Structure 1
Amino acid sequence: MGQVLDSIIQHAEEIRAAAPEGESLMRLPDTTAKHLRDSGIVRMFQPREFGGLECHPREAAETVMALAALDGAAGWVAGIVGVHPWELAFFDPRAQEDIWGPDNDMWMASPYAPMGVAVPVEGGYILNGRWSFSSGTDHCGWVMIGAAVGDKAGNRTDRVLHVVLPRADSRIDHDSWNVIGLRGTGSKDLIVTDAFLPEYRTLDAEIVLGGNGWRHAGRDETLYRFPFSCLFPLGITSSLIGMTEGALACYIAAQKQRVQVTGVPIKEDPYVLFALSEAASEISAARTALLETVDRFWDKTDRGEEVGFEERASGRRTQISAAWRAVRAMDEVFARAGGAAVHLRTPMQRFWRDAHVGLTHAIHVPGTTYHSAALAQLGGDPQGPYRAMI
């Protein structure tokens, strides 16, 4: 096991026990956030020169899965916030120094969706907008968000930037997050009003999305040449699979001594045993498929070979399929868990709710990605939105 996973396991019972508090607070409990910060889970993709670990993406994925099996919200936050140091490595060194110089454990919230507008002014931009779904934002000192470049009148253009700004330049709408699942992620709205962005704290989004961040920054480490379209979804889907593993573990623990109303112990019911085995194998297969793609892409990148569009599209299809496969399997055991599973005092229902809400993330929507993967395999050339996040 890696050092980060060791630290998570060391505090497993505390993290698991604090999860209901996170549901109530609608953010990670301070104790959980401290355990994650101390473990270094958000520094797994961070450059070594700023105290980062530069881990293999597989190690990061397995660590997020293990954390999410304890507390789905904690795994979700770690998976999302943990990718931002990877992208910050492509920014101007001055931006990196601004954020990591004072504290190399600094966390950055998101999202990347260009919900705001950055209007050019001398030396940079003036940023305005409102961004939804900023996971973990209560525990982040900076934000990394997407913004459309505006013209002089403030109208959007087609150019999109990724920008970083201190939390003091934004306001959290604490009433914007009251949901049925992933409550503990605190994925609240951020509001920015007339914040000045120096040019060096911005990066053209296409540089990252097009796979040229490493060239732009002059980095040649395998980690930073790794495809964005595999790395960014990895933390999110890993947390989702971890939630289903947590639900499965809860089911198994609860069923060992359970006797059905018919008087037949669960362990003697061949139909339940079949369903349990099938669900467990499906969740395991989802994990294996996701990690196999990561390993294959890593090995190819490490050899200096490009991972082409068709292969990236296939990898995204596998990632999406793994998420849906794991959640469907979890549903099969939840439906056989008995009435006790629906009580709010039991953790299984929280994993079930968290996983279903996690499945609604845009990174898990099959439509255009499945279309593009199949079309590319048939010799077609997907364009426009069909290339998005691939």
Structure 2
Amino acid sequence: MHPATAYILEHADALRAEAEPSDELGRITDRTAQILRESGGIRLLQAKDLGGFEAHPNDFLDWVLAVGEQHPSAGWVAGVVGIHPWEISIASPRLQKEIYGQDPDVWVASPYAPFGRAVPVEGGYRFSGSWPFSTGTDHCEWVILGGLLADESGRPTTPPTMRHFILPRSQYEIVPDSWNVMGLSGTGSKDVWMTDAFVPDHRVLDGVEVRDNTYSDRWRPGAPLYTMRFGVMFPFAISAGTFSIARGAVAVADRHIQGRVSSQGSVSKTDPFVLDALAKAHADVEAGIAHVRAIIAGFYDTVGSGGDITVKDRLRFRRDQVRATDRAIASVNELYRLMGSSSIQKASPLERYWRDLQVAATHVCNSREPCYLAWGLEHFGGEIPPTAQY
């Protein structure tokens, strides 16, 4: 077990106590952020020369699972914010020094949706835009934002050219009260925006070159972790956050069943329908985690021995990854259907885990149909849709 995960398990009670306050605050509490920082988990995918652990991706999975089982919003933040050091680690040394030079524990937010418009100017870009869903942003000092190159009028150039723009906290605004949602309330995934911010060239990454390992090959040649490909690592992180909530939901339901007697006098721990749903939920969640863990371990061994993760491999991963999370979510939903009316009370942790899992299910990396389509078309020799993410 990695020390980062061990730290979370040692502080499980303290972390669990911060779940409800985080929901009420609309972001993870300062105490939650402190526990995550002190565990060192955000630095698991960060390069060693930048103060990180450069750990195996499955060490990161274990850490996120441990966090989210106790505090679902914190698990989501752990997965999303925790993946960003992977990308910063393949950026230019100049940018890495700007972000981590004084403090290796700096947190970086996103989102990657290409809602920004970037007009080329001398030495960089004039960048404007507004983005929703910047998870954990109140505790972050930098942000990675997606944007398209544009002409002087702000119209995207043809064909569309996507970049990742990396800005310090001084250059963008967080929109207060912009995160009013049914679940994952404690993630504080607020809107961010800026107008005409200057972003120098060295803080801009080509979206295609992030995905095709151009940056990894340039700055981290031979390093297995950074050869794993963005199209694998980012969905993997989202699955980690999703599984963490699903595992926590099953654990909470299990404890609830221990002492529950229905209004009709049925004892839940001997009710055959409840036990059937509980067994399936335990099995499906753990099977999903094991499935994704095994694929990631195989990929890591492949790149570690000098191989590559092919297009076919990546499409298979996305097919299996979304199927694994979908099975976990479906089995939890079926279990919660049998938990009775008490489970809808806000005082019950059952209610929080269920809501949070429904919101996690909506993330684009958990969207199954596009992944099945892309895999199927490639499988039968067709053309992969340009919108496919792999």
TM-score range, shorter chain: over 0.9
Deviation at 1:86, TM superposition (A): 0.8
What residue is the counterpart of 2:73 in the other structure?
A: 73
**Structure 1 residues 274-314: Cα deviation after superposition (integer angstroms, max 9, x where no partner):** 22112211111111111111111111111111111111101
Letter in 2 for 1:121: V
Deviation at 1:228, TM superposition (A): 1.5
Where does 1:236-385 land on structure 2 (aligned, <5 Å)?
236-385=238-387
State whether structure 2 residue 123 is matched by structure 1 residue 104: no
More displaced 10-residue stretch of structure 1: 204-213 or 165-174: 204-213
Letter in 1 for 2:232: C
Distance 1:325 1:81 in 2: 25
State whether structure 2 residue 94 is matched by structure 1 residue 94: yes
Deviation at 1:194, TM superposition (A): 1.5
Deviation at 1:117, TM superposition (A): 1.0
**Conservation of the 8 A alpha-carbon contact between 1:209 and 1:389:** no
Where does 1:1-390 land on structure 2 (aligned, <5 Å)?
1-157=1-157, 158-385=160-387, 388-390=388-390
**Where in structure 2 are there 5+ consecutive unaligned residues?**
none
Distance 1:97 1:74 in 2: 27
Distance 1:340 1:39 in 2: 35
Distance 1:2 1:72 in 2: 21
Letter in 2 for 1:97: K
Runs of 4+ in 1 over 6 A off after TM superposition: none
Distance 1:6 1:355 in 2: 25
**Structure 1 residues 182-227: Cα deviation after superposition (integer angstroms, max 9, x where no partner):** 1000000001111111111111111012232211324321000012
Partner secondary structure for residue 300 of structure 1:
helix
Distance 1:182 1:127 in 2: 30
More displaced 10-residue stretch of structure 1: 211-220 or 2-11: 211-220
Letter in 2 for 1:313: L
Distance 1:365 1:170 in 2: 29
**Structure 1 residues 166-188: Cα deviation after superposition (integer angstroms, max 9, x where no partner):** 11100000121100001000000
Letter in 2 for 1:273: L
Partner secondary structure for residue 120 of structure 2:
strand
Distance 2:137 2:205 in 1: 21
Distance 2:22 2:249 in 1: 18
Partner secondary structure for residue 69 of structure 1:
helix
Partner secondary structure for residue 259 of structure 2:
coil
Letter in 2 for 1:90: I
Partner secondary structure for residue 253 of structure 1:
helix
Distance 1:166 1:71 in 2: 28
**Conservation of the 8 A alpha-carbon contact between 1:207 and 1:216:** no
Letter in 2 for 1:278: K
**Conservation of the 8 A alpha-carbon contact between 1:177 and 1:187:** yes
Distance 2:233 2:358 in 1: 22
Deviation at 1:116, TM superposition (A): 0.6
Distance 1:217 1:381 in 2: 32
Letter in 1 for 2:39: S
Distance 2:177 2:269 in 1: 46
More displaced 10-residue stretch of structure 1: 152-161 or 172-181: 152-161
Distance 1:149 1:292 in 2: 39
Identity %: 38
Letter in 2 for 1:148: L
Letter in 2 for 1:94: R
**Count of equivalent residues:** 388
Deviation at 1:152, TM superposition (A): 2.7
**Where in structure 1 are there 5+ consecutive unaligned residues?**
none
Letter in 1 for 2:348: T
**Structure 1 residues 16-64: Cα deviation after superposition (integer angstroms, max 9, x where no partner):** 1111111111100000001101111111110111110001111101211
CA RMSD, 1 decimal: 1.2
**Structure 1 residues 247-274: Cα deviation after superposition (integer angstroms, max 9, x where no partner):** 1111111111222334342222222222
**Conservation of the 8 A alpha-carbon contact between 2:145 and 2:165:** yes
TM-score (ref. length: structure 1) = 0.97
Letter in 2 for 1:156: P
TM-score (ref. length: structure 2) = 0.97
**Structure 1 residues 72-99: Cα deviation after superposition (integer angstroms, max 9, x where no partner):** 1101111011111111122221111111
